[in-house]
Structure 1
């Protein structure tokens, strides 16, 4: 379980690092090739940790299975994880919007661009957050090879 928590943390830290790196590329900071390498490496880390946290453990399948096909325990677990993840996702989106507002000095009509990496990250987050909550809180999973 401790290993899964570390992997979940690394997964989302790499996702955040990727967005920061590609943001620096977007605003045209010098040495953008370094930021490109950091961003692309972060994508690889996200993929590797996704595979070990969500795919190998069966969490991805559990959180993406129709409710009719789940037993009562699985249904309770996924319902709990979904309700938790909706709350966390809303908070994360509000933090992102607040950061954009602060970066534009609370301008009524801020001028900022929502990047493709950010949109992709939010879609990824919405799909993986329920599974990450299960990985973080649940005990041993049947498919665990730890």
Structure 2
């Protein structure tokens, strides 16, 4: 199966993508990498260092994992690109992790609250609308 993992650079998305690729699926990670920018804004670091998405993908291939592809995209704001990607790739399934965790970032300011709601609601809405517009029969798992 071809599977899109939205938010595939994240805490849950990366292990999911690796697991799917390890099972032989064709995995396309779609992520806007916002979590990394938000961690910088919050002045926090992970307890364990997190390699860049490029380094992660390279390391995965070096250990013999089935290659995964990465598309840098903001699904909440790049609707037509999302439709075009769906039409070009025709995924069988989409695993949707592409949501900003609500706390503590959303409580930092009025702007971060609006960003969180905009990202989470518009991203999910755009995904569903894009699937309908594409006419594809895509299974969606929203976690």
Which of the five TM-score ranges fits, normalised by the shorter chain? 0.3 to 0.5
Which structure would you say has the larger Rg? 1
Q: Per residue, is there more helix in 1 or in 2?
A: 1
When the two structures are superposed, what TM-score results if normalisation uses the length of structure 1?
0.32
When the two structures are superposed, what TM-score results if normalisation uses the length of structure 2?
0.33
